[in-house]
């Protein structure tokens, strides 16, 4: 750190050049100390100023482009990918800081290079103070601050929403908005983090990397019709994988769609300029002619030390904690709750229900044109139903996209279905817990239901999903029985897991979404859909029979079988996110390009990490893949096994016995899940997290039961991840056992202090030997918020509090509008029209007098009328005339 730059000749030159060349404003601020040693603060300030300008300008360009596409009414596939990965304000702040930091360092490099034509080692040019300044001014300092962890009883009982403080020593481990872990150092094309293949001529082990689209076309592309079915696994298993992935990883991409340096629109340009890293479309590609590149945005960097290599960010919590249901930020988790319910419920849709069962709320979007989840007349050959059109109009600025704990909820019908199912299950659990513990506050009910749902996800994943993916024997070998929480295990998701390993299941996705009627047969009412018609088609669950037809389809349809010559279906390679036009994306190409963007090392290095042999020639590779044709294809493209992009190499390996992945994937997936288990303080089997009676109850959890409890489906398979051949093999829900929640009934007494004092009007919860109190809205807690059982006196100390009604009407300014009167009620108040004031005796007399006076006046007027007007009119009457004559 203290190595002086004077020792380095190049730095001396640079320093002199900088002093000569920098603008006056910058040089005049050079500090007296360190000025000739390091670049100096004026230089840094100048770089920061320009970097801020570049970052802000690119973000502004992006906003302009979005506005234009709004007025065009066009949502392009790359816009959908951006929406798919949309993140909350916390992540956006982090990403902006990190991009600002990245641009600053890049500018410093360029400024130095321009002045010295020397590719400098910045470690020699930036002092510790300079680095600190950069971190402070870009905002990265505050992004990487160590959080302060609470240590009260409830924080030992419930996870934080953000995942912080799970590990007390390393409170950032596994938390949202932290960088992915690296199990192997990255291999970027330059020391800063240029992706592999940034320069297509760059060689690795004497070979250039093939365009990813060529790999997709030549190795992965599979006709939709040319697939084999996995006759032992249901498509629900495939969905479960994606569902769990959305609990574990979300890699934000740069929010800027414009190149930082040039301002070029990444959706149109073919030049590589961060964040644009377009996917080149080779001449041999059938898509050639439309556009020569497919847009691709680099994953956003995360805040790291200024001169470190680029790292990517996980925007959500790593833990299996059902964060896709609850969100990974405090803001989102609050927005998802029904805060006016006393039951700790999640909010449900206010406009529609699924025959009485809840849907997720709609996401409020102000730019209606950008809403991708409504019916799409232009591309949908299936005509829009009249109701769908009416619905579209009547929703005003309300979107059809649902709001959930994860931004990818609307991606396709299967995802929407699982989100809806678990939203309902939370509410069901919270209501059942309320019946058992009516004294629990809405917060306690929410947290307990959330804790149970998290445990249910851990059990279903470890006991039911993983053994099928890894194969029973690999599962036993790689995932030994749980031995307790290990505070030295880092549960953070690794870059290789999110960017390659857990994307394995992309090759098991079926190209057709089957929707089945109540008898589990195809019904003309809800026809099967090609996968791309199910993408962002949230309106279909609202309009076309709710989630049941989709869920029945997932239960009864088999998964696609991955084989060496049938990898990824064309629905995903040729029609991904095909919306209102624009060049569809290619999921295989995205996976490969993403791996290069993240600097993942090649296939052989990962095999070595796993203690597997590294293939040195074609025979070796053919042996490992069990397929000479595939080995030849890969080597023709890559030249050497060392360069094969790890994702395609790994999915090319034949599956282990009874599993669906080969040895490399089994190793990487098991390593990650083991870390997620051992490094999670709230792991369901960790001592003290649940009581043993609760653990026994949790073991009985069943996905089929959850389906029975939260849908109208009455026939389910015993094992929903196994492929059911025939509807006759299904069981009535009555035969599927319930998870008994009685172990969650809170004891009324404490073994030492006896009866637990509860409040007649307020809420309480027993946590170890403490009782914590809360009052409902409209009441004020008077006294201690918590009391403790004193083991010496066997008494609760201090006295329990009371909840006293708040007199809202005495508040200043008044809670009611000025013309209304405030009436205090228990727990609330009402604003009413003021009553008329009571009448006094004199005012009654005055009123009577004025009424009498009025009557007298009317009589007088009538009399005058009769005399003057009517008398004068009399001669006109006939009899009068006769009398006169
Ligand atoms: C219809 C089915 C699916 C579709 C359309 C789909 C689509 C996508 C897309 C578009 C991406 C982002 C690619 C990128 O920009 O890098 C992605 C990422 C990913 N997918 Fe899938 N996927 C599907 C199913 C699955 C399944 C079944 C799994 C796992 C079992 C899975 C695991 C992943 C993972 C781990 C990522 C990386 C997530 C991140 O870090 O942000 N996907 N998927």
Considering the chain, what is the average pLDDT of its residues? 88
503, 537, 651, 659: which to mutate for ligand 1, most atoms within 8 A of CB? Answer: 503
- Please give the CATH architecture assigned to the domain spanning 205-376+396-678: Orthogonal Bundle (1.10)
Cα(281) to centroid of ligand 1, in Å?
Answer: 22
Residue 287 is predicted with a pLDDT of: 80
> What was the pLDDT predicted at 392?
46
Q: The tokens of 517 are what? A: 């009627």
Ligand 1 touching residue 161 (CB < 6 A)? no
**Distance between Cα 500 and ligand 1 center (Å):** 10
Buried b (16+ CB within 10 A) or exposed e, 522-532: ebeebebbbbb
Does ligand 1 have an atom closer than 6 angstroms to the CB of 498? yes
Q: Assign domain 747-808 to a CATH class.
A: mainly beta
The angle, 0 to 180 degrees and rounded to 10, between the axes of the packed helices 89-116 and 41-72 is 130
Nearest CA residue ID for atom 7, ligand 1 = 587
Average pLDDT of the residues in 370-395: 52
Most ligand 1 atoms within 8 A of CB, residue of 279, 417, 587, 597 to mutate: 587
CB contact at 8 A, 568 and 507: yes
Tens-digit pLDDT profile for residues 520-548: 999 888 999 999 999 988 999 998 999 99
**Confidence (pLDDT) at 441:** 98
β-sheet bridge partners, residue 178: 314
pLDDT at 398 > cutoff 60: no
Say whether pLDDT at 863 is over 80: no
Nearest CA to ligand 1 atom 32: 503
Q: What residues contact 877, with CB distance under 8 A and at least 6 apart?
A: none
Amino acid 285: pLDDT: 87
pLDDT value of residue 579: 65
Q: CA nearest 670: which of 856, 861, 883, 471? A: 471
Question: How many A from CA of 249 to the centre of ligand 1?
Answer: 10
Query: Cα separation of 459 and 828, whole Å?
Result: 43
Position 840 scores a pLDDT of: 66
- 3-class SS letters over 70-136: HHHCCCCHHHHHHHHCCCCHHHHHHHHHHHHHHHHHHHHHHHHHHHHCCCCCHHHCCCHHHHHHHHH
Q: How much is the pLDDT for 35?
A: 39
Distance from the alpha carbon of residue 506 to the mean position of ligand 1, in angstroms: 7
What are the backbone dihedrals phi and psi of residue 281, each rounded to the nearest 5 degrees, phi first?
Answer: -100, 115
| Cα–Cα distance for residue pair 806/826, rounded to 1 Å | 8
CA of 408 from ligand 1 middle (Å) equals 10
Question: Which conformational region is residue 165 in: left (phi greater than 0), alpha (psi within -120 to 50 degrees), or beta?
Answer: left
The answer, yes or no, to whether the previous bond of 398 is cis (omega within 30 of 0) is no
298 close to 274: Cβ distance less than 8 angstroms: yes
The closest-lying atom of ligand 1 relative to the alpha carbon of residue 81 is 10
| pLDDT recorded at residue 73 | 62
Atom of ligand 1 nearest to the CA of 591: 16
Report pLDDT digits (tens) over 325-337.
999 999 999 999 9
pLDDT digits (tens, 9 = 90+) for 297-324: 999 999 988 778 999 999 999 999 999 9
Cβ burial, residue 835 (10 Å; 0-12/13-18/19+) = exposed
Report which ligand 1 atom has the smallest distance to the Cα of 245: 35
Share of the chain above pLDDT 70, in %: 85
Domains 205-376+396-678 and 747-808 share a fold: no
Residues with a known catalytic role: 246
What's the residue count for the chain?
Answer: 885
Ordered by start, the domain boundaries in the chain are 5-144, 205-376+396-678, 692-743, 747-808
Q: Is 349 in the pocket of ligand 1 (CB under 6 A)?
A: no
Does residue 247's CB lie within 6 angstroms of at least one atom of ligand 1? no
Q: Is 408 in the pocket of ligand 1 (CB under 6 A)?
A: no
**Rounded Cα gap, residues 69 and 61, in angstroms:** 12
Evaluate if residue 183 carries a pLDDT over 80: yes
The reply to whether 712 sits in an annotated binding site is: no
Predicted pLDDT at 121? 65
For residue 34, is pLDDT > 80? no
């Amino acid at each position: 750190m203290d190595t002086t730059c004077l020792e380095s000749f190049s730095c001396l030159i640079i320093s002199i050049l900088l002093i000569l060349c920098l603008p006056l404003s910058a040089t005049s601020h050079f500090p007296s100390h360190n000025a000739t040693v390091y670049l100096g603060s004026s230089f840094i300030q100048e770089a920061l100023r320009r970097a801020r300008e570049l970052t802000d300008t690119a973000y502004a360009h992006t906003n302009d482009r979005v506005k234009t596409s709004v007025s065009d009414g066009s949502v392009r596939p790359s816009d959908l990918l951006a929406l798919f990965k949309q993140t909350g304000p916390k992540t956006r702040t982090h990403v902006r800081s990190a991009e600002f930091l990245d641009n600053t360092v890049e500018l410093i490099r360029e400024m130095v290079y321009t002045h010295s034509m020397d590719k400098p080692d910045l470690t020699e040019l930036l002092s510790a103070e300079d680095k600190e300044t950069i971190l402070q001014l870009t905002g990265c300092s505050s992004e990487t601050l160590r959080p302060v962890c609470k240590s009260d009883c409830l924080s030992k009982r419930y996870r934080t929403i953000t995942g912080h403080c799970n590990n007390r020593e390393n409170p950032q481990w596994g938390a949202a908005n932290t960088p992915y872990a690296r199990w192997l150092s990255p291999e970027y094309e330059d020391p800063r983090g240029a992706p592999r293949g940034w320069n297509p001529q760059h060689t690795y082990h004497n070979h250039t990397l093939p365009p990813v689209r060529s790999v997709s076309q030549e190795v992965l592309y599979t006709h939709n019709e040319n697939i084999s079915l996995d006759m032992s696994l249901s498509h629900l298993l495939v969905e479960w994988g994606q569902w769990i992935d959305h609990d574990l990883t979300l890699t934000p991409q740069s929010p800027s769609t414009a190149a930082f340096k040039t301002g070029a629109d990444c959706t149109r340009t073919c030049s590589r300029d961060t964040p644009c890293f377009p996917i080149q479309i080779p001449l041999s590609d059938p898509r050639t002619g439309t556009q020569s590149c497919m847009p691709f945005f680099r994953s956003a960097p995360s805040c790291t030390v200024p001169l470190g290599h680029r790292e990517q960010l996980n925007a959500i919590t790593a833990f299996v904690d059902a964060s896709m249901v609850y969100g990974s930020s405090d803001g989102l988790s609050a927005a998802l709750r029904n805060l006016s319910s006393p039951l700790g419920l999640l909010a449900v849709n206010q406009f529609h229900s699924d025959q009485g069962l809840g849907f997720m709320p709609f996401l409020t979007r102000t730019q209606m044109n950008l809403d991708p989840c409504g019916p799409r007349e232009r591309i949908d050959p299936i005509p829009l139903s009249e109701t769908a059109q009416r619905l579209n109009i009547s929703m005003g600025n309300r979107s059809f996209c649902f709001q959930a704990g994860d931004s990818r909820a609307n991606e396709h019908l299967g995802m929407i279905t699982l989100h809806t199912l678990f939203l309902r299950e939370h509410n069901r659990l919270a209501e059942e817990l309320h019946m058992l513990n009516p004294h629990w506050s809405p917060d306690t009910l929410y947290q307990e239901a959330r804790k149970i749902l998290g445990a249910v996800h851990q059990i279903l994943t470890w006991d039911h999903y993983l053994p099928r993916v890894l194969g029973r024997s690999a599962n036993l070998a790689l995932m030994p029985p749980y031995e307790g929480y290990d505070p030295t295990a880092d549960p953070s998701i690794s870059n290789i897991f999110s960017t390659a390993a857990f994307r394995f299941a992309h090759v098991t996705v079926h190209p057709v979404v089957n929707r089945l009627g109540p008898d589990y047969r195809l019904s003309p009412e809800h026809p099967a859909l090609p996968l791309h018609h199910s993408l962002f088609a949230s309106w279909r669950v609202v309009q076309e029979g709710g989630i049941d037809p989709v869920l029945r389809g997932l239960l009864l349809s088999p998964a696609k079988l991955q084989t060496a010559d049938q990898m990824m279906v064309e629905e995903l390679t040729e029609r991904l996110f095909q919306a209102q036009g624009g060049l569809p994306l290619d999921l295989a190409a995205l996976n490969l390009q993403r791996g290069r963007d993240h600097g993942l090392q090649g296939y052989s290095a990962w095999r070595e990490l796993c203690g597997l042999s590294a293939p040195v020639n074609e025979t070796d590779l053919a042996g490992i893949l069990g397929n000479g044709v595939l080995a030849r294809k890969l080597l023709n493209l890559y030249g050497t096994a060392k360069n094969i992009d790890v994702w395609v190499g790994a999915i090319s390996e034949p599956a282990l016995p009874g599993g669906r992945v080969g040895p490399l994937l089994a190793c990487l997936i098991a390593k990650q899940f083991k870390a997620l288990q051992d490094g999670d303080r709230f792991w369901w089997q960790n001592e003290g997290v649940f009581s043993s009676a609760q653990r026994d109850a949790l073991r009985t959890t069943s996905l089929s039961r959850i389906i029975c409890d939260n849908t109208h489906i009455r026939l389910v398979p015993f094992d929903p991840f196994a492929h059911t051949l025939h509807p006759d093999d299904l069981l009535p829900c009555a035969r599927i056992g319930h998870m008994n929640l009685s172990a969650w009934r809170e004891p009324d007494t404490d073994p030492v202090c006896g009866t637990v004092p509860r409040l007649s009007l307020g809420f309480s919860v027993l946590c170890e030997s403490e009782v914590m109190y809360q009052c409902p809205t409209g009441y004020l807690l008077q006294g201690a918020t918590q009391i403790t059982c004193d083991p010496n006196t066997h008494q609760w100390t201090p006295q329990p509090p009371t909840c006293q009604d708040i007199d809202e009407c005495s508040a200043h300014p008044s809670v009611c509008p000025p013309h209304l009167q405030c009436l205090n009620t228990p727990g609330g108040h009402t604003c009413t029209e003021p009553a008329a004031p009571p009448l006094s005796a004199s005012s009654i007399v005055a009123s009577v007098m004025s009424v009498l006076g009025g009557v007298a006046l009317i009589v007088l007027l009538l009399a005058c009328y009769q005399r003057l007007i009517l008398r004068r009119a009399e001669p006109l009457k006939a009899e009068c005339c006769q009398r006169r004559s």
